[in-house]
A = this chain, B = another copy of it.
Amino acid sequence: MKSAFQTVALIGKYMNPETREQILTLAGFLAERQVGIFIEEKTAEHSDIKGYTTLKLSAIGAYADLAIVLGGDGTMLTVARALVDYQIPLVGVNRGRFGFLTDINSDHMLESVTQILGGEFQTEQRILLEASIVRDGKVISQGYALNDVVVNKNGLARLIELEIHIDKAFVQKQRSDGLIVATPTGTTAYSLSAGGPILHPTLDAIALVPICPHTLSNRPIAINSASQVEIHIVHAEEASVHLDGQMQMALQPGDRVHVQRAKNTITLLHPPGHNHYDVLREKLHWG
A-side residues, CB < 8 A to B, are: 152-156, 158, 166, 169-177, 190, 192-200, 202-205, 207, 211-224, 238-240, 242, 245, 248, 275, 277-278, 280-281, 284-287
CA distance A219 to B193 in the complex (A): 11
Q: Which of B172, B223, B242 contacts A203 (CB 8 A)?
A: B223
Contact present for A155 and B193 (CB under 8 Å) = no
Contact present for B213 and A193 (CB under 8 Å) = yes
User: Which residue of A155, A176, A277, A281 has the most chain B CB atoms within 10 A of its CB atom?
Assistant: A155
The closest CB in chain B to the CB of A214 belongs to B193
Q: List 24 A-B contacts (CB under 8 A).
A: A154-B155, A156-B248, A158-B242, A166-B277, A170-B281, A171-B280, A173-B287, A193-B212, A196-B197, A197-B197, A197-B207, A197-B219, A197-B221, A198-B220, A198-B221, A198-B222, A200-B221, A200-B223, A200-B224, A202-B223, A205-B222, A215-B286, A216-B217, A217-B286
**B-chain residues with CB within 8 Å of residue A175 when the two chains form the complex:** 287
CA distance A215 to B174 in the complex (A): 19
Contact present for A174 and B224 (CB under 8 Å) = no
Least Cβ–Cβ distance between A242 and chain B, in angstroms: 7
Least Cβ–Cβ distance between A217 and chain B, in angstroms: 4
Ranked nearest first, the 8 interchain pairs of A and B with the lowest CB-CB distance are: A154-B155, A197-B197, A158-B245, A173-B287, A193-B212, A198-B221, A217-B284, A172-B286
CA distance A224 to B184 in the complex (A): 12
Contact present for B152 and A155 (CB under 8 Å) = yes
Least Cβ–Cβ distance between A67 and chain B, in angstroms: 24
CA distance A286 to B203 in the complex (A): 27
Instruction: Taking A158-B242, A173-B286, A202-B224 as given, write out 4 further A-B residue pairs in contact, using a Cβ cutoff of 8 Å, ordered by the A residue number.
Output: A155-B155, A158-B190, A192-B219, A199-B205
Least Cβ–Cβ distance between A240 and chain B, in angstroms: 5
CA distance A240 to B156 in the complex (A): 8
Contact present for A171 and B281 (CB under 8 Å) = yes
Least Cβ–Cβ distance between A194 and chain B, in angstroms: 5
**B-chain residues with CB within 8 Å of residue A286 when the two chains form the complex:** 172-174, 215, 217-218
CA distance A248 to B223 in the complex (A): 31
Least Cβ–Cβ distance between A144 and chain B, in angstroms: 17
Contact present for B217 and A217 (CB under 8 Å) = yes
